[in-house]
Amino acid sequence: MHGEDGDGLQDDVRLPDDKMQEVVRLAVRKRFAEAERLLSALPGGKTTKAMFHKLIHSCANNTDAAAWFLRKMREAGYMANCVSYNCMLTCCIKADDLPQAQRWWDDMVAQGIKPSRVSYNTMISAFSRRLNVQTAEQWMLRMIQDGHVPCNISYYFLFDGFAKVIDVPRTTKWFEFIMDTNFVPELEVYRSSICTFCAAGSLRDVEKVYLHMQQHGIRMDNQMASQIFAACCHLSDQQQLALWCNTLLPQGYVIDSNTFSLIVTTFYRGSITCTVRPSVFLPGIAPSIGAHQQLLQCLAETGDMDGCLQCLQQMASRGFPAGQEEHNYVFQWLLNSTGTTAASQWLDEMARRGLSVDHTTAEIVSGSLAPRGLLLPLTEKVIRMAIAMSSTYLVLTLVSLLANWRVPMSEECATDVICHSLDVLQSGQPKDEQVEITGRLLRSLVPNATFTVFSDRFCVVSF
């Protein structure tokens, strides 16, 4: 009878990979006679115990082929050990045949072989994946009673099952067991715990897990941080959300665009004043154009122009250069949320950046709910910017807007408009469209004037 470690066999007696794969293929197809002949063709006609284990493991979920290799191993004079049975247990689990796995377990115990921690982990994982967390927990308890200390793999399988069924009591119980035994799990165990507590809205337990991680120098990943933020948002708990934002964001965590949308809805779309400035999210926003646009809106609606500029700069550095559209958005948000002063300052910023106004800018002004009197200086600034870019039609649109509002234009602005009109008509050969638009513009300003348009100049006959 050979020893469990294959004593007496030459180390170089190996089944080549290609032949091993062929033996496995034959056994899986139940062509056992051919598989046996190929095994017998080895030098010395012997296969090591370790190689038999490898053959059993290679059968994947074919329990018949795995059992045949185990039988051939015994016939070769090798006693089955815990590793042999672990290979069989794994094969049964892959085949989703828990009754057969239980039979192999019972046979292992009947042979006087003590199950290893790997054996127990295999059974824990099997029931956890089936979402039978009660039985998985029973196997965990049996393992501990059998003298085995749970390892990270043991906890991972157990907590993963708890997370899938959102079992808060068991997660709480076993996490307290981890703390009581001074065990420090790896990140995935913490992830499952946080996932369970976040899904259940148990933020106090989330904090307990986080503090344990901090105590042992383990850093969460961005996904876990986003789960915590999302849980606060789903609970509409602004206080907790502010607490976690102020705790995690300075540590460099990155928020994905979907989670940031939840934060925006929770913080900046309600009637409650937020205690977290939107600019705190700048370093931690995901590299997404949608997320940056949302952040830009929050910054503008809270009147944070410096934050808007930083956000635009960050967008450019991340490959999302802001153009006329984004600047118009900021203009609109500032105008609707903070008033005409901030909006006017933003127009100056647009000019400094080499941008001007367009019809969207005019539409934003016309759609504003601000008092007409307050809008007059802003509208006149837009008119002057339109004059600077020689957009006569845009000037006409804005002048007509003021006429519809029945708000008189200042004398200075009216003079600028008339001078612009004359410049257009006296600039060589103006197009018919320009002549018509300019004529309409002048009539709106000087309704009683009579004028004649020549090909190269414009002449006002009388007022």
pLDDT in tens, 27-67: 778 787 887 887 777 655 567 888 888 888 888 788 888 88
Beta strands at 450-453 and 458-462: parallel, antiparallel or unpaired: antiparallel
Whether the predicted pLDDT of 190 surpasses 70: yes
Determine the Cα–Cα distance for residues 355 and 340; give it in Å rounded to an integer. Answer: 19
- Quick one: pLDDT at residue 402? 80
Distance CA 238, CA 243 (A): 8
Amino acid 219: pLDDT: 96
For the chain, what is the radius of gyration of the CA atoms? 38
Residue-level pLDDT at 178: 97
pLDDT band at 441 (very low <50, low <70, confident <90, very high): low
pLDDT in tens, 351-372: 998 888 998 998 998 888 778 7
pLDDT, tens only, 342-351:
899 999 999 9
CA 149/CA 134 separation, integer angstroms: 19
Which helix (H) or strand (E) segment holds residue 289: the answer is helix 289-301
Place 432 in a pLDDT band, splitting at 50, 70 and 90: low
What backbone phi and psi angles, to 5 degrees, belong to 285? Answer: -85, 140
pLDDT at residue 34, rounded to an integer = 80
Mean pLDDT of all residues in the chain?
A: 83
- State which amino acid sits at residue 198: C
